[in-house]
């Protein structure tokens, strides 16, 4: 299994600013994903982070709001831009190996004031 770290673990940001979340995997993974989880709800896929190219975004998520980078196989960043209180959520990154088993980082809890 992959061990995935994220930072920061939590942050409080002001409206209109941006937050960049980093995700590091301890071994090479085939796929990396970014999810959002609202309190008491399930996981919603934001995008697939593609190595060296633009991320693949799900319906309702756009690159201008959620720019993602993945410069190599073990590292990715998600930026949440122009923050509003509706962006308050937990953001999770995950990595998947050859067996398609997906492992999650500990999450980043974002509060927008």
How far apart are CB 16 and another protein at their closest, in Å?
28
Alpha carbon of residue 68 to chain centroid: 8
Place of tokens 């071994």: 27
Tokens of 88: 């308050």
Nearer to another protein by Cβ, of 43 and 73: the residue is 43
Binding site for another protein (CB under 8 A): 1, 31, 33, 41-43, 45, 48, 56, 58, 92, 96, 99-107
Nearer to another protein by Cβ, of 28 and 82: the residue is 28
Cα distance between residue 96 and residue 51, in whole Å: 13
């Amino acid at each position: 299994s992959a061990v995935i770290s994220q930072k920061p673990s939590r942050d409080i940001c002001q409206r209109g600013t941006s937050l960049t979340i980093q995700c590091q995997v301890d071994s090479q993974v085939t796929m990396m994903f970014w999810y959002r989880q609202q309190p008491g709800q399930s996981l919603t896929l934001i995008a697939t982070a593609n190595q060296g190219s633009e991320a693949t975004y799900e319906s309702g998520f756009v690159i201008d709001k959620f720019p993602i980078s993945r410069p190599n196989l073990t590292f990715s960043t998600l930026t949440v831009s122009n923050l509003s209180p509706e962006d308050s959520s937990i953001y999770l990154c995950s990595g998947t190996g050859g067996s398609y088993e997906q492992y999650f980082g500990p999450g980043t809890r974002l509060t927008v004031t």
